[in-house]
Structure 1
Amino acid sequence: MTVETQPRSVSQTQQYEQCGWRYYLQRVERVMPRPAAWGIHGTAFHSSAEAVERSGRAMTASEAVSHFSDLYSALVNASLDQEPNTDRWLSANGSGGEDIERRYRLGQEQTARYVEWAAEHQPTIWTTPAGTPAIELEFMVELGGVRVRGFIDQLTVEPDGSLRVRDLKTGTMKSAFQLETYKVAVEQSYDVPVNRGDWYMGKTGNLSRTVKLDQVTEEAIGKRFAVMDAGVKRGDFPAAPGFSCRFCDVSHACSYR
């Protein structure tokens, strides 16, 4: 499958919109990205929260932290095999090596807090008609004439029977487009209304503000995917150098940086 024919995703579209040249280097030229502990941190936290939910919240905080620690260490070691020089790792705070250690401890704290939060608030995870709990729920839909694929962290049931889409974050970056895409994907796939969304914020151990999604239309969301898809297919990858270059994992191969 080529980059022209593969399904699109929220992350692909946002990357293309932010800097088409980064998209080109990473997804067409296949430049090896520089590792970053923040990505490993996010992956390990998501896996731990998923394990907690799939256990019916029977997993203890200690068990969840062990899950995080084991996966985080394994992923760091795999990345160190590819890039052993931590000075070349991306980091928003200190050196790459310092960030690896800091995020190990931070991720453990965030994982324990998630277990405590879930036990206290007991959100009701929706179950699909096929009997699948809506945790890391995969979808494949057509939006704007484009195949779009993704995974939804959680869908919970509202008192009125509608659904709420929830994304888990270990950092501060949030994307309304992500929640909006998930809303229209769920409604297209299951014909169940999704009127609200939010983020569980690992940094605070609480939910974000509620995002109203009842006015979001499939046409508006589909248009963004269609514009991105058309740009990729015609080979249009405009560079957008600026502040975000600091956090670009393929900047080492970029002539615009």
Structure 2
Amino acid sequence: MSAPLPTANTEAAPAEPEVRRRPALSPSRASDFKQCPLLYRFRAVDKLPETPTKAQLRGTLVHSVLEKLFALPQAERQRDRAQELLVPAWSELSEQLLPEWMELFGGDNAENADKTEVDAWLRSAGKLVDAYFQLEDPARLEPEACELHVETELGSGVLLRGYIDRLDVAPTGEIRVVDYKTGAAPREIGEAKAMFQMKFYAVVLWRLRGVVPRQLKLMYLTDGQALTYAPDEAELRRFERTLEAIWQAILKAGKTGDFRPNPSKLCAWCDHQAHCPEFGGTPPAYPGWPEPDAGEETALDRAD
């Protein structure tokens, strides 16, 4: 099951009572708070809108294609077949996108989007799919799950929740966590954030299954490289304490409203400069700690 994208409301539906979910911590929101507490507030508490880039949507599309590829019989998981999945996957994705997102392609829906722009964008996604086949042969693999939703509660009461791109389990029980990366973040920053995400998943799986994952594997499709890492139990215990500390810091900031900006090079990519004091902006009035459920990641969160 893929994490949801925000969708356009095409027809009125009867109002349903809001279901309050217990607050949880996701790797993306934990990373947001580490990077900049004010960014966490804008995304998890204020829920300010953000318009994705074509690169983010391309990452979401590539993730969808690879998910569909592994749903095929092993013998059919070939390069040409993967390319054939691009257009149907884009058709599905475009139906979910908000009209303002489709403006990235010169229209407000797939039918009136600029065909030249869309075709060029699809070709760029196709290159990333091709790059995947340079890293491994999917016909030789049989993952236990793709787009796996995972959730667990730590002994301290912190609820962790997220989505894993792919989970491989060997006949002997060893676990490998695989994540596809298609973004263009600066490599040293991007790898640090990605490894934080992977250790988060490793902790969740360790607590769910009682097994420390044998390998965490990041597949960088832009440059056709793979990064692997083998965590150990002592490291995951330390990382678990880090997650607990982050959640306690979030709760403390939530009670007081003191989510401070933390300027860095990443500010250049932030959508919220107009609301940030570091750029002369003013945050919205603090609505109070609403016990937000920041544990549900969107597909865009995971398309970096």
**Would you call these one fold, judging by a TM-score over 0.5?**
yes
**Which SS does the other structure have where 2:137 is aligned?**
helix
The aligned counterpart of 2:204 is 185
Aligned to 2:66: 49
3-state SS, counterpart of residue 30 of structure 1: coil
Q: Which range moved further: 102-111 or 45-54? A: 102-111
* Deviation of the 1:78 alpha carbon: 6.1
Match in the other structure for 1:130: none
Q: Distance in 1 between matches of 2:261 and 2:119?
A: 33
Match of 1:114 in 2: 132
CA offsets per residue over residues 90-112 of structure 1, 9 Å max, x none? xxxxxxxx997765322111113
Which one of 143, 155, 158 corresponds to residue 167 of structure 2?
155
For normalisation by structure 2, the TM-score amounts to 0.67
Contact residue 52 and residue 115 of structure 1 kept, 8 A: no
Instruction: Map residues 202-221 of structure 1 onto 2, 5 A cutoff.
Output: 202-208=221-227, 210-221=228-239
Partners of 1:177 and 1:232 in 2: how far apart?
A: 17
Q: What's the offset of the Cα at 1:152?
A: 1.3
Q: Which residues in structure 2 correspond to 1:127-146 (within 5 Å)?
A: 133-143=144-154, 144-146=156-158
Percent of aligned positions that are identical: 23
Indicate how the Cα distance of structure 1 residues 99 and 226 shifts in structure 2: closer, same or farther if over 3 A, else same. farther
Shift of 1:47: 1.0
Extract unaligned runs of 5+ from structure 2: 1-18, 106-115, 280-304
Contact 2:77/2:139 (CA < 8 Å) preserved in 1? Answer: no
Offset of residue 195 of structure 1: 2.3
**Distance verdict in 2 for CA 1:183–1:120, change over 3 Å:** closer
Conserved? CA contact 1:180–1:216, under 8 Å: no
SS of the counterpart of 1:194? coil
> 1:168 aligned to 2:183?
no
Give TM-score, length-normalised by structure 1. 0.77
Kept in 2, the 8 Å contact 1:40–1:76? The answer is no
**Superposed CA offset, 1:198-218 (max 9, x none):** 11221233422x212124444
- Partner residue of 2:217 out of 198, 221, 228: 198
Q: Which segments of 5 or more consecutive residues in structure 1 lack a partner in the other structure?
A: 88-97, 126-132
In the alignment, which residue of structure 2 is the partner of 1:25? 42
138-147 or 246-255: bigger deviation = 246-255
Aligned to 2:24: 7
CA contact (8 A) 2:29 2:44 kept: no
What are the Cα deviations for residues 114-173 of structure 1, in whole angstroms up to 9, with x where unaligned? 346543782442xxxxxxx32222111123421000111122245864212111111352
Are the structure 2 counterparts of residues 81 and 35 from structure 1 closer, same or farther at C-alpha, using a change threshold of 3 Å? same
The structure, 1 or 2, with the larger RCO (C-alpha pairs under 8 Å, 6+ apart) is 2
Q: Give the total of aligned pairs.
A: 238
CA distance in 2 between counterparts of 1:99 and 1:243 reads: 30
Aligned-residue CA RMSD (Å) = 3.1
Match of 1:243 in 2: 265
In 1: Cα distance, 2:59 partner to 2:264 partner: 25
Alpha-carbon distance between aligned partners in 2 of 1:162 and 1:26, rounded to the nearest angstrom: 36
Q: Which moved more, 1:173-182 or 1:65-74?
A: 65-74
What is the CA-CA distance between 1:184 and the residue it aligns to?
2.1
Change in Cα spacing, 1:56 to 1:256, as seen in structure 2 (3 Å) is farther
Paired letter, 1:256:
E
